[in-house]
Chain A
Amino acid sequence: LNAAPGRVPRQRVRFLPAPAPGGGGAVELVAARVPVLADHPLVRGPPFRKLKIGAGHRLDVKASGVFVLGIGHGNKLLTELYNCHLTKVYTVGGLFGKATDDFSDTGNLVEKTTFDHITREKLERILAVIQGTNQKALLLYSNIDMKTQEAYELAVKGLIRPMGKSPPIITAVRCLQFALPEFQLEIHCLHETQQYLRKMVHEIGLELKSSAVCTQVRRIRDGVFTVDDALPRTQWNLQSIQEAIWNCQLKVETELEKTLG
């Protein structure tokens, strides 16, 4: 960053003595543009010595996926994005037949159960009821008076969501893959933690009269940022970062305007 051509040094007008066009030793004042010495790189030093980097929504050690960072002035946009309360999308992988103390497959085994009776249909029914109860929670925590016409309009469009603090809410769940004993879900949620998602996998196992552990949690979307915008480890260099920021600027602005007005 520091090697890139820096800001053009400021110029100022100074009246400098210069020999007069006539002759002799008379000195005249002539206006000339001269660079300000205070802006000289050798005087100022490198323009960037520290960078302020802020992180978006938390991501566990055991989870992976999209992680949003803000640099410098972008940190203010981070707070605004947080206040938008946009949904995040995760792919959660699970395994039937085991129950561990921390709900993931690396914890201490608590119990093993049978799982041959589980079918995709039963799983989808459980997912439907999870969606139903969370739908109610969505409407309840959004703090809108249900008796108004605008509450009805927002509910029709599906735009009601809690704009303040609330417990984790799941807006949509879908089963992507089902191959006993493994299964994969796509979960859209708000205000959640990865441990909550693992606990949910465990509870789905209990509901199906068996047990389940979570093998993988991967965030594929955080508000407006998807996996396509994200930079993998190999692309953590200045060029790609600058390009990525440039591409996302427009998206972020439109989203902020739409939600916060």
Chain B
Amino acid sequence: AMAGVARRLLCRGLGVAAGPPSTRQLREAEEAAPVFQYAGKAAKRKDRVFVWGFSFSGALGVPSFVRPDAGWKKPRRIQPTPYRLETEEKISSAACGYGFTLLASKTRDITKVWGMGLNKDSQLGFQRSRRDQTKGYEYVLEPSPIPLPLEKPQQTRVLQVSCGRAHSLVLTDSEGVFTMGNNSYGQCGRKVVEDEIYSGSHVIHQLKEFDSRVVQVVCGQDHSLFRTKKGSVYACGWGADGQTGLGHYNITSVPTKLHGDIAGVNIIQVSSCGDCCLAVSDEGDVFGWGNSEYLQLASVTETTQVNVPRHLPFKIGKIKEAACGGTGNVVLTEEGNVFVWGYGILGKGPNLAETAVPEMIPPSLFGWSDFSPDVRVAHVRCGLSQFAALTNRGELFVWGKNLRGCLGTGRMEDQYFPWRVTVPGEVVDVACGVDHMVSMVRSFT
């Protein structure tokens, strides 16, 4: 009787006995749960810049790698995997030189170009030192604005930048080409001044006299190439290997038009990194001139220097894009196949060290398979001894000599066949230098 009274009292107090929740209770609890929203209405894909490679020259633009901000942190000499670089504006064009980098944006603001890295020849313009207002910085550790002497700074847009060994070129849409840096071989397009001191120099030269608007600028090691809208190519700078293509081996200090096999041909792309140059015409032919010590032009001539553009008669299909490296060259055909030739690590295993005739790299190495048959290479780029390929899926493949971690694979060994670089995003463009690389990436969501 006592137990019964106690139970009735408890029942009145607690109400329904608590047991394991039934399915209906669970469903109701689920429906009543709050819904979180992580993606805003205006969630757009963000554009980012990733850098990797040798950092002590400041070329990566991250000051904490060279001068750590905390006492216990060690300086990072090499960044072996892609590292995100915060930029103020969306970067549309980047170029890597020998120990320095240029970033450019298509904005109409006053600051359009940023530079970082070595500045011993003023290849980044004059960077006023904060300690001593008369001197400039020799090493720029983070992206610093480069002041350009524009006539209409709030209207002109910078289309493209390019970097050589110690000089840089900036292409604008209406004010021609601006050059800065070392001019000991006339590569800046102005007269060579004897015993000129390039360090801390304010000189930025403007080039406007071409047959039509310049649409692409390319820097070789110590020479510059300009491609105009009409399809002609101009060159200036060092010519001892014939890389200016003007028919002689002297230096040229004024941009001069090239003839030879490209006279009258509409050239749609030019490329150069070391002392050899390649040009692609609108009909899919490729022309080369310059250094041929590494069999780059051995398909047409036995000489080691070619100072006039020569047509390279390759029977590999219509060529869409070409990239010239220090010792090896790569072309991309309309079908999406990649062909390499030259000397060094060409991408077909350690056995292929040199060839004068282009050899195809099998598309299965770029992610093509029966499972995903529409993957193809969209762009090819060249560093001094590295190659990079971008696929239409936004993946980046690199191969070549892994100098100071510039391949970005995370390992320090050379890569003998195309290897995927893990980048958190879709790679839109990549610029290769000697020991570092910069890529423009769009995030996934």
Contacts and interface: CB of A to CB of B under 8 A. Distances in A.
A135 B444 contact: no
B349 interface: yes
Interface string B45-59: 000000000000000
A99 to B, nearest CB: 9
Interface in A88-126: 97-98, 109, 111-114, 117, 122, 125-126
Interface stretch (B31-39, B146-154, B330-338): B31-39
Contacts of A231: none
A155 B417 CA distance: 9
Interface stretch (B155-163, B259-267, B408-416): B408-416
Contacts of B88: none
B444 A152 contact: no
Interface stretch (B207-215, B297-305, B319-327, B359-367): B359-367
Contacts of A111: 33, 36
A149 B420 contact: no
Nearest to B396: A132
Given A122-B444, A129-B444, A132-B395, A149 B350 contact: yes
Nearest to B34: A112
A117 B39 contact: yes
A209 B395 contact: no
Contacts of B39: 114, 117, 209-210
A151 B393 CA distance: 25
Interface string B343-372: 000001111000000000010110101011
B420 A109 contact: no
Interface residues of A, number: 37
A135 B419 CA distance: 10
A208 interface: yes
A259 interface: no
B33 A109 contact: yes
Nearest to A145: B413
Contacts of B34: 112
A132 B424 CA distance: 11
A102 B397 CA distance: 36
B420 A136 contact: yes
A258 interface: no
Contacts of B414: 147
B422 interface: yes
Interface string A130-148: 0111011001000000111
B417 A152 contact: yes
A158 B369 contact: yes
Contacts of A112: 30, 33-36
B29 A128 contact: no
A197 to B, nearest CB: 18
Contacts of A210: 38-39
Contacts of B413: 146-147
Contacts of A59: none
Given A109-B29, A122-B444, A157 B364 contact: yes
Contacts of B38: 113-114, 209-210
B444 A174 contact: no
Contacts of A156: 362, 364-365, 417
Contacts of B416: 146-147, 151-152
B349 A152 contact: yes
A259 B369 CA distance: 20
B347 to A, nearest CB: 9
Interface residues of B, number: 36
Given A109-B30, A209-B38, A147 B350 contact: yes
A188 B372 CA distance: 13
A152 B417 CA distance: 7
Interface in B16-32: 29-30
Contacts of A139: 419
A147 B419 CA distance: 12
A209 B44 CA distance: 12
A215 to B, nearest CB: 15
A111 B30 CA distance: 9
A133 B425 CA distance: 12
A135 B420 contact: yes
A132 B350 contact: no
A136 B367 CA distance: 11
Contact of B371 (A114, A125, A146, A174): A174
A152 B37 CA distance: 47
B340 to A, nearest CB: 13
B43 interface: yes
Interface in A175-207: 188, 207
A210 B36 CA distance: 9
A153 interface: yes
Nearest to A97: B35
A114 B350 contact: no
A129 to B, nearest CB: 7
A209 B444 CA distance: 11
A155 B422 CA distance: 18
A230 interface: no
B426 interface: yes
B176 interface: no
Given A113-B35, A113-B36, A174-B371, A149 B445 contact: no
A86 interface: no
A125 B427 CA distance: 12
A139 B420 CA distance: 10
Given A112-B34, A153-B349, 15 more contacts: A112-B33, A112-B35, A113-B38, A114-B35, A122-B444, A126-B444, A128-B394, A132-B367, A133-B422, A151-B417, A152-B348, A152-B416, A156-B364, A172-B371, A209-B445
26 contacts: A111-B36, A112-B30, A112-B35, A112-B36, A114-B36, A114-B37, A122-B445, A125-B394, A125-B444, A129-B444, A133-B422, A135-B420, A136-B419, A136-B420, A136-B422, A146-B417, A147-B350, A147-B416, A149-B351, A152-B350, A153-B349, A155-B417, A156-B417, A172-B371, A209-B39, A210-B38
Interface of A: 97-98, 109, 111-114, 117, 122, 125-126, 128-129, 131-133, 135-136, 139, 146-149, 151-153, 155-158, 172, 174, 188, 207-210
Pairs A-B, 9 closest by C-beta atoms: A152-B349, A209-B39, A209-B38, A149-B349, A117-B39, A114-B37, A112-B35, A149-B351, A156-B362
